Chains A and B, each alone.
Chain A
Amino acid sequence: MEIKMAKLSQEELLTDEGIRTDGRKIDEARPFEVEVGVLTQADGSALVRQGKNLILAGVMGPYEAERHSQFLDRSSLRVRYHMQPYSTNERKSPTYSRREIELSRAIREALEPAIILTELPRTQIDVFVEVLQADGGTRCASVNAASVALADAGIPMRDLVTAVAIGKVRDTLVVDINDLEDENGQADFPIAMMPNKGKITLLQMNGLLTQEEIKRSVEMAKRVINSLYTVQVNALKKKYAPLAASNEG
């Protein structure tokens, strides 16, 4: 049985005082936590909490690619994004859906520019992203988790990749949209960047934004991405700083 969610009006999504459904201001991101190395059998892993989103990413490889998927000059990156049946408010079929195939591709394309694939020719790197709990902006949270997991796996990277979704509710741009804003808002604009390089690796848009709004969205996203990036870096440092200290000592 399909459970229909009540449609919220734009006024319900954003009050006159500029307060959103979860009590945040328009330029306030959700609480963001990263834990590195949560899986012992994967080469690299990360668990990300972004608001109510709970995303687990595991990396396997690099290992020799199957003959049919080998590239002579570079490694091939495979990403599998999968939502658990209990991750949403109505049961999601555990089979791999069209949306998951599309998001796997979007996440792969967001990560690929950051990975130095030419250093590992004929090999394959597998990234498995499991959405344990979803609350809007899962593709961005998945990029954040996968990027840290790749760094944890020792994959050569130009930079970490950090992503956030900008939305539009009641004709106002808001950062890091949740599920209600995603479902009922006027636009969804996920952006992924390499923060140190200042380069955008993912840019998608659902809904309508003017040119001016797009420019402002990118600026807002940059500010949020810098703060999320700090959390990613601190999570990696938390795991590796003791190792570094013992190696240096």
Chain B
Amino acid sequence: MPRAKKKKSLAKGLLLPGFYISTIEEFSAKSGAYEDGGGVYSSKVGLPEYDGMEHYVSVKPFKVSAPERLILGASYVGLVSDVHKNFAQVTIFSKDQLGRPVPFSALLHVSRGGVRRARAATELVKPGDAVVVKLITNWVPLQVSMEGPELGVVRASCSKCGAPLTWDHDGVLKCHACGHREIRKVSVDYGRKNLHSALIN
């Protein structure tokens, strides 16, 4: 292991990968930095940010990648891609460095569906539904929740004829084409969310 170079002053200004920042006695590495051989080094192109209270140093990058943009507790628009008994798979969209939506698959467990006594994930969502979910883990596997009135299904199609479903009453959607009724965990924003702008913005 290379020994950290002894330097009197802390790094300032632009940092590139491999640039020395400080010794580990001075600061611990947080995001954008790493520790190696007793020293703290930058792992990204960015500017250093020192936390003198907690003795952490991080490097604020100029480019933030799509996985790093996924924020814990933030709401995301997603599409249900698969539904099993206990969980559903939801594709949520982050943004890449150029602002393009980048899909990530996340799990929605039946216990986090926002409906008490739901016995199966099929009572909450169905494949193809557009949902608004909250990210509850930002490590893999990503997990999402639909607990909250604003979270849940915002757009759905009829399982029988494929026509758009409209809100009927609490937790029930109705197809005006064939009269079929279906249950979902419906968001208060059902039918009102502009999905295209939600995906892009």
- Is B103 an interface residue, CB under 8 A from the partner? yes
Chain A residues contacting B18 (CB-CB under 8 Å) are 157-160, 194-197
Chain A residues contacting B105 (CB-CB under 8 Å) are 64
In the complex, which residues 196-249 of chain A have their Cβ closer than 8 Å to any Cβ of chain B? 196-198, 233, 236-237, 240-241, 243-244, 247-248
- Is B52 an interface residue, CB under 8 A from the partner? no
Contact A244 B66 (CB under 8 A): no
- Nearest Cβ on chain B to A59's Cβ, whole angstroms: 10
Contact B62 A240 (CB under 8 A): yes
Contact B47 A156 (CB under 8 A): no
- Is A116 an interface residue, CB under 8 A from the partner? yes
Give the interface size class of chain A: 35 or more
Closest residue of B by beta carbon distance from A197: B2
User: Which of A154, A195, A196, A241 is in CB contact (< 8 Å) with B64?
Assistant: A154
- Is B86 an interface residue, CB under 8 A from the partner? no
In the complex, which residues 163-205 of chain A have their Cβ closer than 8 Å to any Cβ of chain B? 194-198
Question: What CA separation (Å) do A125 and B149 show in the bound complex?
Answer: 37
Question: What CA separation (Å) do A213 and B138 show in the bound complex?
Answer: 51
Contact A158 B41 (CB under 8 A): yes
Chain B residues contacting A236 (CB-CB under 8 Å) are 16, 45
- Is A93 an interface residue, CB under 8 A from the partner? no
* Interface size in chain B (residues, C-beta < 8 A): 32
Question: What CA separation (Å) do A241 and B13 show in the bound complex?
Answer: 8
Q: Mark B90-106, 1 if CB is under 8 A from A, else 0.
A: 00000011100011110
- Is A51 an interface residue, CB under 8 A from the partner? no
Contact A241 B14 (CB under 8 A): yes
User: Which of A119, A123, A159, A243 is in CB contact (< 8 Å) with B62?
Assistant: A243
Q: Mark B59-73, 1 if CB is under 8 A from A, else 0.
A: 001111111000000
- Is A152 an interface residue, CB under 8 A from the partner? yes
Chain B residues contacting A157 (CB-CB under 8 Å) are 17-18, 43-44
Q: With A156-B43, A158-B17 in contact, is A116–B63 under 8 Å at CB?
A: no
User: Which of A63, A122, A151, A248 is in CB contact (< 8 Å) with B13?
Assistant: A248
- Nearest Cβ on chain B to A45's Cβ, whole angstroms: 12
Closest residue of A by beta carbon distance from B5: A196
In the complex, which residues 30-76 of chain B have their Cβ closer than 8 Å to any Cβ of chain A? 32, 34, 36, 41, 43-45, 47, 61-67
Chain A residues contacting B17 (CB-CB under 8 Å) are 114, 151, 156-160
Contact B140 A122 (CB under 8 A): yes
Closest residue of B by beta carbon distance from A41: B98
Question: What CA separation (Å) do A62 and B65 show in the bound complex?
Answer: 7
Q: Mark B3-31, 1 if CB is under 8 A from A, else 0.
A: 00000000001101111100000000000
- Nearest Cβ on chain A to B49's Cβ, whole angstroms: 11
Chain B residues contacting A120 (CB-CB under 8 Å) are 65, 67
Contact A43 B47 (CB under 8 A): no
Q: Mark A70-87, 1 if CB is under 8 A from B, else 0.
A: 001000000000000000
Q: What residues make up the interface of A, taking CB atoms closer than 8 Å to B?
A: 41, 43-44, 61-64, 72, 114, 116, 119-123, 151-160, 194-198, 233, 236-237, 240-241, 243-244, 247-248
What are 27 A-B contacts with C-beta separation under 8 Å? A41-B98, A43-B97, A61-B65, A62-B65, A62-B66, A114-B17, A116-B34, A120-B65, A121-B140, A151-B16, A151-B45, A152-B45, A153-B65, A153-B97, A154-B61, A154-B64, A154-B97, A156-B34, A158-B34, A158-B41, A158-B43, A160-B17, A197-B18, A198-B2, A236-B16, A240-B45, A247-B47
7 nearest CB pairs, A to B: A159-B18, A154-B63, A157-B17, A196-B18, A244-B14, A156-B43, A122-B140
